[in-house]
Structure 1
Amino acid sequence: MANGGTWEATSLPVRPGLFINFRDAAIASIAGGTRGTVAVPIFTYTGGTAESGKFYTIETVSEGVELVGNANATPITRILQGGAKEALVYAVPAVGEGTATQQYANLRDAFSVQDFNVFVYPTTIDASEQTATKAWVESCREEGKHFIYVAGGDAASDADITAGNARSVLLKDPYIVNLVTGVVLADGTEVQSAEYTPFIAGLIAGTPINKSITYTEMPVANVTLRLKNSQVNTALISGSLVIIKDGNKVRIEQGVTTDSNAGERGKIRTTRAKQAVASDIPATARDSYIGKVDNNPNGQASLIGAIKGYLELMETDNVLMNPVVTLDPRYKSEGDKVFLAVAYTEVDSMERIFLTITV
């Protein structure tokens, strides 16, 4: 697991590691490693081979069916159909009556020491667990663990866009995506948003970090609630992920997180890039630098050059622009401490095109 996280000049971490001060001005994007793992807890797995309290990595639909049983495999199937490389499945231990809250707390704690890129529940959870999960996402981020959480709602909230938008406001966070739209499958089956979130999680995990999920066409026939243009605008401003029916196509309106502020939407693409920075640079440092390189001008130059080269490669792949890596002049790099200043510009997708035509 990553030994990193945020740091403060007045309270430096004790453990050896490379710590990133997670400031918006100094973070853009970086790629490296596989980002296709979706974590999902499965509460019912009778009829399968799964054992209570164990984790399993599933790469095919047939493996998922064998693991949890055909009747319980839909979330895993949707994750893989969405495009994820794999599903990290946890067979949640059963609990006694009245201890569901502890069950959810325990499963989140279990996932805290696993590696994945997106987290999702298989079905609806109540508002208290939604807010508890938000707190968990924030806590993990502070510990140096970065992932996206995809939330959704039940049929009642899907039928009332104001309820879905209220959930987005409740879950406001750059690492959270809130689906507010239910869908209709080709056979006419209606699927509430919470039960379709595994597909969205798989789509996010499977999309390259230099690409957006905006306007992605969904493999469904319709949505459970069609929205007016004004309602779509309000939803986006609220930070809601909306699926719309557009002619013969059903598509994601815009790949946004719940981190909406004064009309500016947080973007899934740039969030995943920030998460890559916070994960990949420390991983590279652990592998090649921490405990292996002298903390002198030559060693510092080597570390700076490696990180800058990594960022420049990502610049070539249109993940970021204008990377700069230097020693941070505010602090003295000596002893076993090295302070770096990293700056670059995020690259977003072209999603709003404004034309002025003069004739």
Structure 2
Amino acid sequence: MAKLGMPSVNIAFIEAGIEAIQRSQRGIVALLLEEDTDTVTKLLTDHTGSDGKTTIKAIKNPFTVYTTDDIPDELSDDNKDYITKASIGYVKSPYRVKVYLMDKVTDETKNAAADKFADALKTLATDRWDYLAIPTIVTAQCESVATWLKTNRENKGKRSKVVLPGYAADYEGVINFSNTKIVTASKTYTGSQYTPRIAGLIAGTPLTISATYAPLSEVIDCDRYTEDENDEKVNNGEFFIWYDGEKFKMSRAMNSLVTTTQGKLEAYQTIKSVDIMDAIYDDIKKTAQDSYIGKYTNDYDNKQLLISAIMGYFKELEDGRLLQKDYSEVDINVEKVKTYQLEHGLYTKEELADMDDLAIKKLDTKKQVLLTAKIKILDAMEDIDLPINI
């Protein structure tokens, strides 16, 4: 009897690819804001009239802002401004801004403590977002937040990023926004205070382009450096606003990763490439969990159907110009299957040496699906070399 295959898995992965292209147009910004305790209490509490009926319904914490019309009037002017700045975006506005409110800390010692945001970060860790900004963060708290972010990325599979002011984390999940003064027509900002704008700008950058040289029309001045100093800042993993003689715009869109290693080379240093890697990781993990894991026997035929489904996903990303066309591959990892057989005492080296690759691919690996893949992420045009002969 012919096998019917796994149409639901194929469809799920293809839909994930299509959604990835659509989602890449706009991301999600998370803002961690401090507000007076009375205001937080008021916003999170239902208010009733004399008739006992609710007149003002409490908001949730976090609450979501799709447009500036969703910003609560009760917030401080600074917090309204942070949300507004995050909502500007770049090519488009961020898909949404998730605002996490915490009580403003009045004790100076606690206010400067490295773990000041620890409780709020626990809540953040349970939610889905792309870029985090904390406009009230100080230098002493950056290391704690960066370590928390790295732990979530490396150990918990949560592929989010954070924009930190002047913090050289040397890590792809941390954007080192290094400006110390940003001037607009209405206000002068510190680097910390302007991180919501930068997080929103990156989140509003489609994955088909980069945020390199993105203009900031509202900026009228900022700390300035020479051309050589700007080059050095880029090489140090900094992302910053600079003046080109006519307008203020962003530098090369790099994250803070400076020290490259085997398996983590130049592609991990660009914001665009890491965003695409994170999207692929999230999509394959979630779609496999929802549509495949636990639902099919782990035999060779079903492994091939899963491979076909993932290839369908990669094809969508190739068509969307996120991956190089006709380059992507997925297959069973022969070397890992061999290792599995040896570690479990199922076959000897001599027996495996006598088998061809197809025979090895068909060997039983119990619950494990051992695959390998290759893709090539497309970067944006940034460096143009054009000698002109006259």
Match of 2:149 among 121, 131, 137: 137
1:80-159 alignment runs, 5 A limit: 80-82=87-89, 83-93=93-103, 97=107, 98-100=109-111, 101=113, 102-127=115-140, 129-142=141-154, 143-152=156-165
Q: CA deviation at 1:287?
A: 1.9
Give the TM-score normalised by the residue count of structure 2.
0.74
CA shift, 1:235, in A, is 0.4
- Is 1:308 the counterpart of 2:318 in the alignment? no
Kindly provide the CA deviation profile for residues 295-337 of structure 1, in whole angstroms up to 9, marking residues without a partner as x. 1122111111111111111111111121111111122362221
Q: Measure how far apart 1:67 and its partner are.
A: 6.0
Within-5 A mapping of 1:1-359: 31=20, 34=23, 36-45=27-36, 47=39, 50-51=43-44, 54-66=61-73, 68-82=75-89, 83-93=93-103, 97=107, 98-100=109-111, 101=113, 102-127=115-140, 129-142=141-154, 143-152=156-165, 164=166, 167-168=167-168, 171-181=169-179, 182-187=181-186, 189-261=187-259, 266-321=269-324, 322-332=327-337, 334-359=365-390
Q: State the number of aligned residues.
A: 313
Question: CA–CA distance in 2 between the matches of 1:303 and 1:218?
Answer: 44
SS in 1 for 2:239: coil
Q: Distance in 2 between matches of 1:122 and 1:105?
A: 16
Q: Do 1:37 and 1:118's aligned partners in 2 also have CA atoms closer than 8 Å?
A: yes
Deviation, structure 1 residue 258: 0.7
Task: Structure 2: give runs of 5+ residues left out of the alignment.
Answer: 1-18, 46-59, 338-363
Report if the CA contact (8 A) 1:146-1:279 is conserved.
Answer: yes
How far the C-alpha of 1:236 sits from its partner, in A, is 0.4
Q: Which moved more, 1:259-268 or 1:52-61?
A: 259-268
1:194 is paired with a residue of what secondary structure?
coil
Give the distance between the partners of 1:61 and 1:145, measured in 2 at CA. 28
**Structure 1, 45-54 or 343-352: larger mean CA deviation:** 45-54
SS at match of 1:43: strand
Identity of aligned pairs, percent? 26
Tell whether the 8 Å contact from 1:50 to 1:91 is kept in structure 2 after alignment.
no
TM-score by length of 1: 0.80
CA deviation vs aligned residue, 1:148-181 (integer Å, no higher than 9, x gap): 11111xxxxxxxxxxx4xx32xx11111111112
Q: Which amino acid counterpart does residue 66 of structure 2 have in structure 1?
A: E
Unpaired segments of 5 or more residues in structure 1? 1-29, 153-163
CA distance in 1, matches of 2:184, 2:214: 16
Cα pair distance change 1:111/1:39, threshold 3 Å: same
- RMSD, matched Cα: 2.4
Pick which of 60-69 and 193-202 moved more. Answer: 60-69
Q: Is the 8 A contact 1:216 1:252 kept in 2?
A: yes
Q: 1:124: Cα distance to partner? A: 3.4
- TM-aligned CA distance change 1:259 to 1:104, over 3 Å: same
SS in 2 for 1:346: coil
The Cα of 1:246 is off from its aligned counterpart by 1.7
Cα deviation for residue 196 of structure 1 reads 1.1
Q: Which amino acid aligns with 2:373?
A: V
Which SS does the other structure have where 2:328 is aligned?
strand
1:86 shift after superposition: 1.1
CA distances 1:1-47 after superposition (whole Å, capped 9, x unpaired): xxxxxxxxxxxxxxxxxxxxxxxxxxxxx935635211111111555
The structure with the largest alpha-carbon Rg is 2
AA aligned opposite 1:347: L
